[in-house]
Amino acid sequence: MQVLKFGGTSVGSPEAIQKVIAIVSEKLKKNTVITVVSAFGGTTDSLLLCGQMASQGDEQYKELIQQLTGRHLNAVKQLIPIQQQSSYLSAVKKLCNEVEDLCTGIFLLGETTARTKDKLVSYGELISSQVIAAAFQSKGIATTWWDSRKLIRTNSDFGNATVNFSSTSALLQAAKQELATDHIVMPGFIAANPEGITTTLGRGGSDYTAAIAAACLDAQELEIWTDVSGMMTADPRWVPNAKVIPTISYQEAMELSHFGAKVIYPPTIQPVMNKQIPVWIKNTFAPMDPGTCIQQEGYRNGNPVRGISSISKLALLSLEGSGMVGVPGFSRRLFEALSAEQINVILITQGSSEHSICVGVDESAAEKAKKSVDEAFAPEISLQKVEPLEIEKGLSIVALVGEQMKSHPGISGKLFGALGRNGVNVRAIAQGSSERNISAVISTSDVRKAINLLHEEFFETSLKQVNLFISGVGNVGSRLLQQVYQQQQYLLHHNRLQLRVVGLANSKKFLISDDAIDLSNWKNLLDSGSEGTIDDFVDGIIERNLRNTVFVDITASDLVAGVYPRLLEKSCAVVACNKIACSSPYSYYRELKDKARSNNTSFLFETNVGAGLPVIGTLNDLLKSGDKVNRIEAVLSGTLNYVFNHYDGTLPFAEIVRKAQEEGYTEPDPRLDLSGTDVMRKIMILAREAGEQLEMDTIINHRFLPASCMEGSVEDFYASMLKEEDHFKSIFTEANKNGNKLKFVAAFHNGKAEVGLQQIAPGHDLFHLYGKDNIVLFYTERYPEQPMVIKGAGAGADVTASGVFADILRATLT
């Protein structure tokens, strides 16, 4: 004999019921079958709603009953040949009338009891099972309808009754003796107490009915047919990448279902486990899929973690006080106070200091718990030996489940590491000594993110998803998008990195998308985005709360540089091409670095110095490995280099500057480059990275630009440069006469930084520097005479974008 249970969706429409009939018919070729069915999907909720509306005096429940009646009559019409329909139609109508009568009673009384509710919801399974049995009959499949209320015996705990196994077993076996057909249909979920009053087995209870029937009748197998292809590594509604678990042990399945895997109602496993009956989870809509087999030993695939679950609507109750230390009986009294109110404890932790006990209960029970516990400890509370019970709501549990976790060290480390890196605060932790389950209590707002990132950590070692939010889509920004677009497949295949751009912003508009933004069409998509400020963009990023988030600033805006703290506090990495933050007062630079560290995230700005050249990364590597910087000498302005490499007195200086700007080698206001301010910022950032608390006003700048050039607009600047052409020419002639080249040099030595135009002689390291190249010389303890040299293009959109790209990749590896 086999027991098959079909859930709400599996019997949710006449088409689905046809599939059920096909599945069962196949089984009947070899075996006797008991088919346990749920109510048509959603019916239990609708019936409960009818009862609630009626009890509140809302007559609209009548409409709801009409809809339910229509749905069930339609099922009869679709499933049963017309000539046989009439008796079934009237049977359904009769049952629906009973529902209506019951609701009229509730309406008149203005209240419902748990007993009445059980009676009311029982009609869902009563009607569905009779319609389905009739459908089998009409297909020529001899079928007996069993009334679960006569066979499943419970106590009188309405709403969630306890089954009396010995009488149920006797009743079921007796019924089997008298059986005249190979096929039985019986309603799930419903039962009756010894007086014959209808009870139910709790929401989702049809699974349990099927398990009880299987256990009492020693079935060979129990099959739970539902709308997913098995028990999965995580709830598929939350984790799109969840995978079907091929085999799992009873214990693990029980643990996963207790911790929220709705696919099986938790009590289901126990009776079949006792009898060692294998349970299959199968998909009614994809019957060829293998499904999950639940049995004594799960198949070991090397992964000690079998699945991830969560429970929401949890409240933590903390009982604290110095009077509890070393005094026996406190826990007993706490749990007695909770059990007196029938409050179910989901999780318990107690620190070894014994100063506090913390329990997790359903949020709805929190107030009741507080009243009861505070009363129980009233004497101690009045003596201030114990604090009144503290309640914290809005929490959830995420749990890792797996039988083999006990023999694998490092799993909790990985769990908490992954949560920590993503800014998920853990409020309490519990691990049973069976080590089959590690639970962390976190804020409900973090659950989706946590489950996804844990799933990635334990089941998708082959893939890491990174979510990019990019602010600034100008020259460098658009190149970056192009590079990311080009590299996405490569990174996926070679680095197992799924790099998704999910947010874009310019100064006017922004776009945040649940799915990856199509980078071949980002301009149009951003154009149709929302109007808003950078703060709106950041609000959106924080609200999404995605795992592995990287915010990329490719603007030159101080407003954007001002939002980094908010992001870092949420453990979003920040990659800045924008130099403003790092060249702000030291305290802000320090704050950002500290925030990144304390939130386990990254704040990276390699492109602040030398564009794509690995200057800051190299400096950090030297320092981290114990080297000390004695001196830095550098040519850090691609712009100035370009200008002095091209200026030879034939074309006016102003024209060379304009060409540099046209080719995109200058800041939007070229005076920032020409005045040396940009170079000051860069040497300051290098000095800061080397450990010096430098500020801009302590850096000496030997300016070569006459003061007159600094006034007015950018156009005034070009005009005044023309006027000063003689000044520039004489600087050039002087150097040329000596056989030297002009370089704008930045130096840091002995805690001091200075910048200025210098004549460089042919033998010098800085002499051979062409185009827009930059060079940095690090003189350190390990490189005392011959410096470490980093040299190459120090400006340009493509190289800068690739430097930003490298920072993004670095941020994702932490």
CA proximity to 467, closest of 510, 508, 504: 504
How would you list the strands of the sheet with 603-604, edge to edge?
Answer: 530-531, 509-512, 497-505, 464-471, 549-553, 573-576, 603-604
In the range 42-71, which residues lie near ligand ASP by CB under 6 A?
Answer: 44
C-alpha span between 787 and 633 (Å, rounded): 9
Residues 86-115 vs ligand ASP: string with x where CB under 6 A? ------------------------------
Q: Is 7 in the site for ligand ADP (CB under 6 A)?
A: yes
What is the nearest approach in angstroms of ligand ADP to the Cβ of residue 211? 13
Those residues whose C-beta lies under 8 Å from the C-beta of residue 285, and which sit 6 or more positions away, are 10, 16, 19, 227
CA proximity to 222, closest of 269, 185, 189, 266: 269
C-alpha span between 34 and 314 (Å, rounded): 37
Asked whether 747 and 631 are in contact (CB, 8 A), the reply is yes
The span of 2-10, 573-581, 622-630, 669-677 binding Mg ion (CB under 5 A) equals 2-10
* Pairing, β 345-350 against β 292-295: unpaired
Q: Is 298 in the site for ligand ADP (CB under 6 A)?
A: no
Residue of this chain nearest to Mg ion (CB atom) = 204
Which of ligand ADP, Mg ion, ligand ASP, none lies near 51, with the C-beta cut-off 5 to 8 A by kind? none
Q: Is 226 in the site for ligand ADP (CB under 6 A)?
A: yes
C-alpha span between 168 and 154 (Å, rounded): 8
For ligand ADP, which is the closer residue by CB, 262 or 593?
Answer: 262
Tokens of 23: 């599945």
Asked whether 365 and 332 are in contact (CB, 8 A), the reply is no
In the range 113-132, which residues lie near ligand ASP by CB under 6 A?
Answer: 124
Q: Coil, helix or strand for 518?
A: coil
Q: Is 38 in the site for ligand ASP (CB under 6 A)?
A: yes
For ligand ASP, which is the closer residue by CB, 52 or 645?
Answer: 52
- Residue that has been written with the tokens 């046809």 in this structure: 18
C-alpha span between 348 and 346 (Å, rounded): 7
For Mg ion, which is the closer residue by CB, 39 or 511?
Answer: 39
C-alpha span between 89 and 72 (Å, rounded): 9
Q: Is 11 in the site for ligand ASP (CB under 6 A)?
A: no
Q: Is 79 in the site for ligand ADP (CB under 6 A)?
A: no
Residues 5-34 vs Mg ion: string with x where CB under 5 A? --x---------------------------
Residues 17-56 vs ligand ADP: string with x where CB under 6 A? ---------------------x------------------
C-alpha span between 241 and 244 (Å, rounded): 10
How would you list the strands of the sheet with 2-6, edge to edge?
Answer: 143-145, 183-187, 33-37, 2-6, 221-226, 279-283, 292-295, 247-249
For Mg ion, which is the closer residue by CB, 204 or 503?
Answer: 204
For ligand ASP, which is the closer residue by CB, 201 or 517?
Answer: 201
Point out the catalytic residue in the list 119, 464, 579, 682.
Answer: 682
Query: Three-class SS string for 190-228?
Result: EEECCCCCEEECCCCCHHHHHHHHHHHCCCCEEEEEECC
Q: Is 187 in the site for ligand ASP (CB under 6 A)?
A: no
Q: Is 188 in the site for ligand ADP (CB under 6 A)?
A: no
What is the nearest approach in angstroms of ligand ADP to the Cβ of residue 621? 44
What is the nearest approach in angstroms of ligand ASP to the Cβ of residue 8? 5
What is the nearest approach in angstroms of Mg ion to the Cβ of residue 167? 26
Tokens of 749: 């030595």
The span of 204-212, 332-340, 384-392, 449-457 binding ligand ASP (CB under 6 A) equals 204-212
CA proximity to 221, closest of 263, 277, 171: 277
Residue from 12, 124, 204, 291 touching Mg ion (CB under 5 A): that is: 204
Burial category of 329 from C-beta neighbours within 10 Å (exposed 0-12, middle 13-18, buried 19 and up): exposed
C-alpha span between 744 and 647 (Å, rounded): 14
Task: Assess whether 682 carries a catalytic annotation.
Answer: yes
Q: Is 204 in the site for ligand ADP (CB under 6 A)?
A: yes
Beta bridge partners of 470: 504, 552
For ligand ADP, which is the closer residue by CB, 39 or 609?
Answer: 39
For Mg ion, which is the closer residue by CB, 228 or 592?
Answer: 228
Residue from 206, 229, 548, 637 touching ligand ASP (CB under 6 A): that is: 206
For Mg ion, which is the closer residue by CB, 264 or 468?
Answer: 264
What is the nearest approach in angstroms of Mg ion to the Cβ of residue 118? 18
Q: How many residues bind ligand ADP (CB under 6 A)?
A: 19
Q: How many residues bind ligand ASP (CB under 6 A)?
A: 13
What is the nearest approach in angstroms of ligand ASP to the Cβ of residue 142? 26
For Mg ion, which is the closer residue by CB, 271 or 423?
Answer: 271
In the range 230-269, which residues lie near ligand ADP by CB under 6 A?
Answer: 231-232, 234-237, 261-263
In angstroms, the Cα distances linking 138 to 18, 76, 81, 133, 259 are: 12, 11, 7, 9, 41
What is the torsional sign of CA 168, 4, 9, 72? negative
Q: How far apart are the first and last CA of the chain?
A: 55
Residue from 3, 4, 6, 8 touching ligand ASP (CB under 6 A): that is: 8
For ligand ASP, which is the closer residue by CB, 204 or 503?
Answer: 204
Which of ligand ASP, Mg ion, ligand ADP, none lies near 228, with the C-beta cut-off 5 to 8 A by kind? ligand ADP
C-alpha span between 593 and 575 (Å, rounded): 12
Residues that bind ligand ASP (CB under 6 A): 7-8, 38-39, 44, 124, 188-189, 203-207
Return the active site residues.
Answer: 682
Residues contributing to the site for Mg ion (CB under 5 A)? 7, 204
**Residue ranges in contact with ligand ADP by CB under 6 A:** 7-10, 38, 204, 226-228, 231-232, 234-237, 261-263, 307
